[in-house]
Every structure is written in C-alpha cells, then in structure tokens.
Structure 1
Amino acid sequence: MFTTRRYQHCAACGERVEYRMPSDDNRERAVCTVCQQIHYENPTNVVGTLPLADDGRVLLCRRAIEPRRGFWTLPAGFMELGETVAEGALRETQEEAGARVELQGLLSMINVVRAGQVHLFYRARLLDLDFAPGPESLEVALFHFSEIPWDDLAFKTVRATLEHQRAGRPELLITDV
C-alpha cells in the first residue's frame, strides 16, 4: 500500500495541513488547518515507448541517473502537465534516446501501486537509426530479443513490457507489479 504523505503545508495559504477524512469523502486527505483547502494525492503517470527497428531489434537506454543508474530501460519518464500520454511518450523517447518514432498503439499499462505510479508504454516503430543518448542516458543500443541484458533491466515494468512484446501478444497488457 502506498502510504507516503507529500503535503505538510497548504499550497493555497502556506499553513499546516493535517490528514483526516473530509465529511464527503471515503479516505484521508491533506486538509489545511486554516483555509480548509483539500489537497489530493494522485498517482503519477510514467510514459514511454518500446521502439522497434524494421529488423525487430528493440532500442534500450542505459540509465545515467538514479534510481537504477547503469541499468537498461525503455525510453520513458514522467508525463508533464499539458501533454497527452502519446505526446509524453514521444517527448521522452526523443529526450532519452534521441530517437524519432511512430507510435503504433498502447502496448502495456502497468500499475505500480507501492510507488504511486502507472506506467504506460507504446509500441513504436523507429523512423531511422539516427539516435544518440540524451542527458539521462549513458548509452543507447539496439538489441535482438535474444541479446537483451535481461539481468540488467532497471524496472519490473520494463521487463513485463519487453516479455509481452517478445511473446507476440497483440492485446494490451494490463497488470500490476
């Protein structure tokens, strides 16, 4: 169960908040002790792609940042306000891998309840092989599925998404990790 409480002070007036259940709600919320503003804590979306070259190889990034620095991942990151899931996935792929892709449909939606996140990955076609690591990647490389460094993958969500693609399943993967 996700239990981290993010709010200590009200974003509206700066006073202290306390966690309690508002009368019209069914769970504890951060409620300002002065202005009574309710602050909702909701999951964060992580969006990305599983970029595939025309020969079936997948593009992976070796992380240059924590968590899991030095481990391999799909290009992905936190969705920003003002963008769609698809726009975020395209942006993250460009930022982390310098890759241009065409989205080919949502591949996986994975709930990471303990971290308060939902990870969404699109299947994507690499438009060319002109890519390079961005500031959050040490390197980027293409791998046949038999060559993927499975023991050095950064996250369970990446493994689940790669395994789903490797199995050739056309349906959307919806699961929890």
Structure 2
Amino acid sequence: MGFRHHQTPQNQQQEQNFFYSFSLIFLIIWQRKYEIHFLFSINLSFNGNINYILDMKYKYCYRCGALTKIIEIDGRRRSFCSNCNLVLYENPIPSVAILSMNDKKEILLVRRSVEPGKGEWSLPGGFIEMGETPVEAAIRELYEETGLQGKNPELVNVDTHLNGFYGDVLLIAYSVELDSYNITPGDDVSEGMFFKFNGRPRLVFKIHENFLVRWAKEKQLTAD
C-alpha cells in the first residue's frame, strides 16, 4: 500500500492555487505627446484573487524628446535619458474625494458617467488642476459634479490608490459642509443622491469605501 499524504483543507487550497495560478503580462502604450509604457503584471489564482502591479515608464524624454532607457536607480527600475542626463521619475497623480452629508445625516454619493467605474457609485471627486490647492479642488469638484456649494473643508485622510486606468493616484479626502441639498448632476456624473450609511450602494473604488467607513464611524453614522 503506497504512502498517502493527509491533506487539510488549507493544504488542498494551497495546492489548487499552485496548479491553477498563472501570470499574464500586458504591455500597453498610451499615446500622448510623449509615449508612456504601462506594464501590467497580473496574477490570477484559483480562489479568484487578482493581484496586479502597474509599472509606468516613459519611452521618450519629456525635456528633449530623445529615446530613454530603463536602468536601476535607487533600487527601482526607472526611465533615464542619457542625452540630458535626466531621471524621469514616476509620481502619483494628486486627486481629491469629498465626504458630505445632509441634515438627515445621509451621505452624498454620485453615480459615475465615465470610466473607470462607469455606472457605479463613488464619492464626488477628481484630479487637482495645475495651480490649484487640494482644498480648492475639493470645492470645485463638488460643485462641478453635484451643483452643491461646499464650505469649511476639513482633511479626513490621505492614501494612494493603484488605478488601472490612470496609474498610481494620491487621494486626499476632505469632509465638506453643504449650503443646500438640491443636487444637479454635472461633470462626469449621471446622478447624485443622499443615502443612509447602512442603505448605501457599494462604492466602486475600495479606497473610497475605506475613507467613507472611517469618516462615518467618526461622525457616528454607522448605527443608523
């Protein structure tokens, strides 16, 4: 009688992950004034988990337009222009998210009309414009997406979010008071509504969900 290894459910899952996991590599070229290469490394496992890494590299130097090469600098693979001796650093894109509620302690959410997350719910927000402060961006984005005027913004949280559409995003969340509650959907939004915390839809971005849960607990909205 041959030896038979006893398998626990955990061991079985590990073996399944070993045999059914595989990696896919995609190279995507984003055509703009200077080409940017996005390299996605995606690992799909048996249990449905998806892990991916976004590696963004510049093909051309944004100073002189010469072809770059990828070399290791400070422990990271970076785009380097040997023509002007310039390292083309990759930095997160700064953006804002807005946390607001009405006089019934209902949370303001918007349904996105553009990708990423078209048709899904999220916090109001968007990218910071050139020459604009994060606070100014929060007030502007709130008005553009909902038609609501905000006041007394307070910093709630700051974190990074790996977005397969834009790359690495630095997200700054503000709590903003509202002057009125009559929503007029605008830029990048098909509708906006106020929800009780426990009756809200799932948010499309995990980082928005994390910001909202933490803020709602501080405002004691989770028990409603």
User: Which structure 2 residue ranges, 5 or more long, are not aligned?
Assistant: 1-51
Q: Deviations over 1:95-120 (max 9, x none)?
A: 11221111341112222257422211
Aligned to 1:10: 61
Q: Could you tell me the TM-score, scaled by structure 2's length?
A: 0.67
1:160 aligned partner, one-letter code: N
Mapping of 1:24-173 within 5 angstroms? 25-113=74-162, 115-150=167-202, 153-168=203-218
Over alpha carbons, which structure has the higher Rg?
2
Contact 1:97/1:132 (<8 A) preserved? yes
Deviation (angstroms), 1:76: 0.8
Structure 1 residues 49, 38: CA separation in 2 closer, same or farther (over 3 Å shift)?
same
Mean CA deviation greater in 4-13 or 67-76: 4-13
The superposition leaves residues 13-67 of structure 1 with CA deviations (integer Å, 9 ceiling, x where unpaired) of: 1110112245xx4533321132222211111122021111122111111000011
Structure 1 runs of 4+ aligned residues shifted over 3 Å read 25-28
Higher RCO, 1 vs 2 (CA within 8 Å, ≥6 residues apart) = 1
Paired residue type of 2:119: G
SS at match of 2:159: strand
Distance in 2 separating the partners of 1:169 and 1:55: 12
TM-score where L is the length of structure 1: 0.83
Q: Please, which runs of 5 or more residues in structure 1 have no aligned partner?
A: 171-177
CA RMSD of aligned residues (A): 2.1
Distance (Å, rounded) in 2 between the aligned partners of 1:55 and 1:35: 59
